[in-house]
Amino acid sequence: MKDKVVIVAVDPTQHRELSKILESRDYETILLDTSNELEIYLQSNKGKIVIIDIDRLPVDKRFFKNLKRSYPALCIMGLSERPFHPELEEAISRDIYACLTKPVDPDEFAYLLKGVSENETCAGNSKI
């Protein structure tokens, strides 16, 4: 098995779509519904990649800053229908590795995951 990927999204359809893409590439998926569940999960489990639906979850730049400070090697990816989030501009430039557009393109997603899996940390940003 490759890395575990934690998906935090309130939409069950989003869970299924991302899980299908990930499992077809031999990733293990952990499905969570809230940012609180994510924080609890990370306290007792190692995680390397987290995908967060930034459209539907109540997250702000402080949430991402604290998450990255607590887990510096964590690779955070945003998931959104919108091309621009002015309220998250700082988080996107500093703490979020990539922003994926809904619906997720499986090939682009696989490319990003491969890059993250080959690196020890999630340094630098890549915007898709």
Which CATH number is 84's domain given?
A: 3.40.50.2300
Query: For residue 128, is it within any domain?
Result: no
CA–CA gap between residue 77 and residue 99 (Å, rounded): 6
The candidate with the shortest Cα–Cα distance to 47, out of 65, 32, 25, 63, is: 32
68 pLDDT higher than 80: yes
Query: For residue 50, is it within any domain?
Result: yes
Residue range of the domain that includes 68: 4-118
- Confidence band of 121 (pLDDT split at 50, 70, 90): low
Return the pLDDT at 35.
92
- Confidence band of 87 (pLDDT split at 50, 70, 90): confident
Query: For residue 125, is it within any domain?
Result: no
Query: For residue 18, is it within any domain?
Result: yes
Instruction: State the average pLDDT over residues 58-73.
Output: 91
Whole-structure pTM value: 0.87
Mean of all residue pLDDT scores within the chain: 86
- Tell me the CB-side half-sphere exposure of residue 21, using CA atoms within 13 A: 19
Return the pLDDT at 126.
45
What tokens does 18 get?
A: 């991302």
Q: 3 vs 10, which has greater pLDDT? A: 10
Return the pLDDT at 120.
55
Number of structural domains in the chain = 1
Query: For residue 124, is it within any domain?
Result: no
124 pLDDT higher than 60: no
Query: For residue 22, is it within any domain?
Result: yes
Instruction: State the average pLDDT over residues 48-75.
Output: 91
CA–CA gap between residue 43 and residue 30 (Å, rounded): 14
- CB-count burial class (<10 Å; 0-12, 13-18, 19+) for 106: middle
Return the pLDDT at 5.
92
